[in-house]
C-alpha cells in the first residue's frame, strides 16, 4: 500500500492545498493529511480550527471534478491524530496504523526543502520514507538544498505539479480570498479567525 503523508500548517488551507491533495489522490492508494504545528513558524489560529478547515477542504474535493476528469477517488482523509511536532513521531504513528509493509512518502512543499537538515533525527526519518517535493511558485528547488538532503540519505522525487500561486500568508496579510475555497471563507467569517477578515468586514459596514 502506497501512502502519502501530507502535514501542513493550514493557516488557513488554500486552493493550492486542495490541488495538491487531488493530485496525490490519483497517484497513491491513500492520502493522509493533518494540520501541523511547524516549530519554524508562528501560527495565528489554534490547531483545532486549522484541522476543521482541512476537513472542509477535503469534503469539498469529494464534490469537485478531479484533475484527470475522472470520478473522484475517496482515498483522502484527515488523520489529525498523526500530528506531532516531530515528523519522526508522525511516521511511528503511521506505521502503527498501517504496518511496516506500507510504503510511506512524505510530501513537502519546496519552501521547506532548506529546513529539512534541521528536522529532528532527520537521518532516521529519511531511512524510512521517500520524499516528494511539490514545487511552489517563488520557491525554486536549488541543487545545493537537494544535495544536502540526499547526503543525509534522502530519496527524493519532484512532483510533476506546480502549486497554484496562492498562499496562506497572502490571505493572512492581505485578505486575498482568491487563495481560498468558499467553504473555508465561510468558516473563517463564522469563527472570526483572522484580523484581515475582521478588517474587511468592518470596511463593508462603513461603505
- Three-state SS for 8? strand
Full DSSP string of 139-182: B---HHHHHHHHHTT--EEE-S----S--HHHHHHH--GGGS-H
pLDDT tens, the chain, 207 aa long: 999 999 999 999 999 999 999 999 999 999 999 999 877 666 678 999 999 999 999 999 865 555 555 545 689 999 999 999 899 999 999 999 999 899 999 999 999 999 999 999 999 999 999 999 999 888 889 899 999 999 999 999 999 987 777 888 878 887 878 889 999 999 999 999 987 654 444 433 333
What pTM value is reported for the model? 0.87
Determine the 3-state secondary structure of 157 from DSSP: strand
Amino acid at each position: 500500500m502506497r501512502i502519502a503523508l501530507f502535514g501542513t500548517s493550514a493557516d488557513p488551507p488554500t486552493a493550492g492545498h486542495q490541488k495538491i491533495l487531488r493530485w496525490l489522490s490519483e497517484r497513491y492508494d491513500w492520502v493522509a493529511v493533518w494540520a501541523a504545528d511547524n516549530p519554524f513558524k508562528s501560527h495565528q489560529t489554534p490547531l483545532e480550527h486549522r484541522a476543521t478547515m482541512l476537513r472542509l477542504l477535503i469534503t469539498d474535493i469529494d464534490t469537485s471534478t478531479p484533475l484527470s476528469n475522472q470520478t473522484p477517488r475517496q482515498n483522502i482523509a484527515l488523520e489529525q491524530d498523526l500530528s506531532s511536532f516531530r515528523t519522526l513521531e508522525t511516521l511511528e504513528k503511521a506505521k502503527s496504523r498501517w504496518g511496516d509493509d506500507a510504503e510511506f512518502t512524505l510530501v513537502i512543499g519546496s519552501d521547506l526543502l532548506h529546513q529539512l537538515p534541521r528536522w529532528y533525527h532527520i537521518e532516521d526519518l529519511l531511512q524510512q520514507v521517500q520524499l516528494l517535493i511539490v514545487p511552489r511558485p517563488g520557491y525554486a528547488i536549488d541543487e545545493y538544498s537537494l544535495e544536502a538532503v540526499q547526503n543525509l540519505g534522502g530519496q527524493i522525487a519532484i512532483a510533476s505539479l506546480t502549486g497554484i500561486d496562492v498562499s496562506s500568508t497572502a490571505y493572512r496579510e492581505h485578505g486575498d480570498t482568491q487563495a481560498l475555497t468558499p467553504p473555508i471563507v465561510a468558516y473563517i467569517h463564522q469563527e472570526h479567525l483572522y484580523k484581515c477578515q475582521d478588517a474587511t468586514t468592518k470596511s463593508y459596514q462603513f461603505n
